[in-house]
Amino acid sequence: MAPRDRFDDPQNPDALVTLALPEELQGQALELVDPEGLPLARMAPDGALTALTHAQYGPFRRLHLSPARAREAYAGRAWVPVDDALTTDEIDRIRRRGPVVLLALVGAGTSTLSRVALLRATLAAADALPDAVVVAVPLASHGDSDSARTADARLRDQVVATYAAGDPVWPLPERRVAPAPSDFPAAVAEVVRRDRPAPGEQGLVLFFTGLSGSGKSTLAQALMDLILEHGERSVTSLDGDVVRRNLSAGLTFSKADRETNIRRIGWVAAEISRHGGLAVCSPIAPFAQTRAEVREMVESAGGAFFLVHVATPVEECERRDRKGLYAKARRGEIPEFTGISSPYEEPDDADVRVDTTGRSIPDALDDVIRALAASGHLDLPLSSQRRLPDVADPVAPIAPTSVTPATAPTPAPTAEVTSTQATPPQVRPAPTAPTRAAQPAADDEPLSVLFVCTANVCRSPFMEFTARQMVGTSLDVASTGTHVHPGSVFDRVIGEFLPADVPQAWLKRFRSHPVSSELVEIADLVLTAEASHVERLVNDNPRAFRKIFTLGQWVETVAGSDLRGRALIEWAGDNRAPATPEQDIPDPYRRGRGPARQAAERIDELMQVALPPLVLDRNLD
Ligand SMILES: Nc1ncnc2c1ncn2[C@@H]1O[C@H](COP(=O)(O)OS(=O)(=O)O)[C@@H](OP(=O)(O)O)[C@H]1O
Ligand SMILES: Nc1ncnc2c1ncn2[C@@H]1O[C@H](COP(=O)(O)OP(=O)(O)O)[C@@H](O)[C@H]1O
């Protein structure tokens, strides 16, 4: 930039060769270093610069020549400033001029090309010319304002003139319209295409922000499941809670630590997007400025940033209070709790805003899917186009009718029931839910046991019927599922392996029923077929953790204890054996008679141990 020898030169106020120093460094002697710490220049307190060495950093370093070195190598050629990928027409024009230096001004890239791609495109153009070489000059532009453009043009003319030092300079005519891909030679077009992939091929960061309990993790997880089911892309999850357990372990919830946490997430996500990957982040990220920094990090890594504002209001999040944190925050036990005692700045730059209040998860997720499809980044099927059940809704707002009221009349026994001599007259026909209202049970009242599997058509009703047949009304039993088509019938294949004296009427009258938080709350004990069911139920009902077990886990836990009834359940809550996959009862549904028989035998075997200690009336076991 000779003759300039300093930043912020008062003699050339419009030259924009500036260095913004923090106040405490102003007026001091400084060393300027590259990102790896190599000293490049010394700066005197008055701003005068002394070069120490050439920069040795970054791609195509060999092409970044100072004017002196460039002249040493290429004096006598014509100099052509290049600030975008060259079209076929422009290359033809240059060809007519003879030997040239293409002086690539790669300060900030262009609106459509990164710096490094601008250099690659210029090299590809040089290859198409008989005698052209490339020199890179990191000359940045300072913005779109008229004054910045004027100053930029002046600085650029000066820099180009310094390189040419009297040799001819041939600027290309200004473009009237932006070139189309077909205007470039194939090799240049390929550089342009790779550098700016179509939205569907670009790295992508899906960033969910919102209050604790708003539904970020739930929606993010459902979306990731869907992406994986789709199978075209892999995903990295950066969930708020998970990040805080590893990447950000030790950070607090002060403003500074939250910012650090979000910047770390942003940095990792940006790196993932740099490689064309897909990252799904779901921290609270309460501050607009930090979210903007993440956007900037991602975009400068070449990725796309897609912001989902999970805008569930604080009243609803507090009503859900999945983790009991709002209650603690209200009691002052958690300081700086977002939405209560720490701010959440609503985004005004969200790509989609979803309030999950009163909506099912698939329905809320569809809003995100629609917005993503419109952006061109990701095309996933809406829930209405998917075969159900896949993203089922474990916590769809519960209609009052879904809990059997305590006063529900017992359905009249059918002819089959009355004709089945094995049916004790006091046994209710198969209920779809425990019939006790949500009130504390008297000590001598039968315990209620809720069996849970996936669709509530096979394993859990089998457990329900087996239990009822074994202990009659000594236990209040019911069954439900985590992913249910409500109203489905009992699976006849596993039904074949029920004890012969189970009344057919129970089977006939059975209809499937989804699990709900109310049902879990009412039950004294919840027994599931698989560990994944426990996980799901505990996730949605964390406070019920102590009474939810897999059937196999329950049997292993209580084996050897002399306790009975409620005391046993309480004890088991504190002494639970781990739920291992070996104890699971695999789903035999639609897998034929063999697996159905195995599941039936295993359930039967476990029930023999699981139930007797739960029965309060000792005469019945
Ligand atoms: N003081 C306070 N404020 C907000 N949240 C708190 C706090 N203390 C603990 N938690 C739990 O931490 C989860 C939020 O962590 P994040 O990393 O997402 O927060 S932040 O983005 O750094 O603000 C958040 O989890 P989610 O419910 O998944 O959002 C809370 O469970
Ligand atoms: N439509 C919905 N979308 C997402 N979550 C919902 C919806 N309806 C109810 N919920 C429930 O709200 C809670 C949201 O919790 P979570 O996803 O962990 O939130 P966050 O990650 O924002 O803290 C879960 O218990 C979830 O089942």
Q: Cβ–Cβ contacts within 10 Å for residue 257, how many?
A: 15
- Domain end position, chosen among 359, 385, 411: 385
CB of 359 within 6 A of ligand 2: the answer is yes
Q: Is 416 inside any structural domain? A: no
pLDDT tens-digit readout, 310-331 = 999 999 999 999 889 999 999 9
Structure tokens given for 257: 């630590």
Alpha-carbon distance 451 to 167, whole Å? Answer: 88
pLDDT tens-digit readout, 290-307 = 999 999 999 989 899 999
Share of the chain above pLDDT 90, in %: 60
| Residue 172 and residue 70 share a domain | yes
Q: Is 111 inside any structural domain? A: yes
Domain count, the chain: 3
- Look up tokens 């195509």; give the residue: 60
Q: Cβ–Cβ contacts within 10 Å for residue 543, how many?
A: 14
Given the cut 0.95, state whether the ipTM is greater than it: yes
User: At 564, which amino acid appears?
Assistant: R
Q: How close is the Cα of 98 to the center of ligand 2, in Å?
A: 67
Q: Answer yes or no: is pLDDT of 169 > 90.
A: yes
User: What CA dihedral angle connects 158, 163, 167 and 171, to 10 degrees?
Assistant: -60
| Residue 295 and residue 162 share a domain | no
Ligand 2 atom nearest the C-alpha of 365 is 3
- Closest ligand, as measured to the CA of 308: 2
Going through 164-217 in order, the beta strands assigned E by DSSP cover 204-210
pLDDT tens-digit readout, 134-151 = 999 988 777 778 888 888
| Residue 315 and residue 175 share a domain | no
| Residue 457 and residue 331 share a domain | no
Report the pLDDT averaged over residues 464-472. 92
CB of 218 within 6 A of ligand 2: the answer is yes
- Look up tokens 């047949």; give the residue: 469
Structure tokens given for 155: 């600085």
- For residue 280, name the pLDDT band (cuts at 50, 70, 90): very high
Alpha-carbon distance 474 to 467, whole Å? Answer: 10
Q: Is 53 inside any structural domain? A: no
Pairing of strands 304-310, 204-210: parallel
Alpha-carbon distance 427 to 418, whole Å? Answer: 11
Q: Of 219, 241, 320, which is best to mutate to test ligand 1, by the most ligand atoms within 8 angstroms of its C-beta?
A: 241
Alpha-carbon distance 427 to 430, whole Å? Answer: 9
Which residue, among 523, 547, 425, 415, has the nearest Cα to 475 in the 3D structure?
523
User: At 524, which amino acid appears?
Assistant: D
Backbone angles phi, psi at 193, to 5 degrees: -65, -45
What is the CATH number for 577?
A: 3.40.50.2300
The pLDDT value recorded for residue 143 is: 78
Q: Give yes or no for a contact between 455 and 421, defined as CB atoms under 8 angstroms apart.
A: no
- Domain end position, chosen among 143, 167, 195: 195
Structure tokens given for 598: 């195995």
Residue 380 CB partners (closer than 8 Å, separation 6+): 223, 226, 227, 230, 369, 372, 373
Q: Is 107 inside any structural domain? A: yes
Q: Is 214 inside any structural domain? A: yes
CB of 188 within 6 A of ligand 1: the answer is no
Pairing of strands 30-33, 39-43: antiparallel
Residue nearest to atom 14 of ligand 2 (CA): 215
CB of 210 within 6 A of ligand 2: the answer is yes
- Closest ligand, as measured to the CA of 320: 2
Q: Is 35 inside any structural domain? A: no
| Residue 505 and residue 587 share a domain | yes
| Residue 341 and residue 489 share a domain | no
The pLDDT value recorded for residue 232 is: 82
pLDDT tens-digit readout, 75-95 = 999 999 999 999 999 999 999
pLDDT tens-digit readout, 10-47 = 777 566 678 888 999 988 999 999 888 889 999 998 88
Ligand 2 atom nearest the C-alpha of 240 is 21
Q: Give yes or no for a contact between 439 and 582, defined as CB atoms under 8 angstroms apart.
A: no
Ligand 1 atom nearest the C-alpha of 283 is 18
Domain range for residue 348? 202-385
Residue nearest to atom 27 of ligand 1 (CA): 212
Residue nearest to atom 6 of ligand 2 (CA): 215
Alpha-carbon distance 143 to 572, whole Å? Answer: 68
Lowest mean pLDDT among 83-92, 171-180, 296-305, 611-620: 611-620
Q: Of 208, 217, 218, 363, which is best to mutate to test ligand 2, by the most ligand atoms within 8 angstroms of its C-beta?
A: 218
CB of 323 within 6 A of ligand 1: the answer is yes
Q: Is 397 inside any structural domain? A: no
- For residue 112, name the pLDDT band (cuts at 50, 70, 90): confident
| Residue 153 and residue 114 share a domain | yes
CB of 214 within 6 A of ligand 2: the answer is yes
Structure tokens given for 572: 């088991």
Instruction: Name the β-bridge partners of 31.
Output: 42
What is the CATH number for 218?
A: 3.40.50.300
- Domain end position, chosen among 195, 225, 247: 195
| Residue 185 and residue 216 share a domain | no
The pTM score is 0.57
CB of 309 within 6 A of ligand 2: the answer is no
The pLDDT value recorded for residue 550 is: 96
| Residue 216 and residue 179 share a domain | no
Average pLDDT, the chain: 86
| Residue 237 and residue 153 share a domain | no
CB of 281 within 6 A of ligand 2: the answer is no
| Residue 611 and residue 477 share a domain | yes
Q: Answer yes or no: is pLDDT of 159 > 60.
A: yes
| Residue 464 and residue 513 share a domain | yes
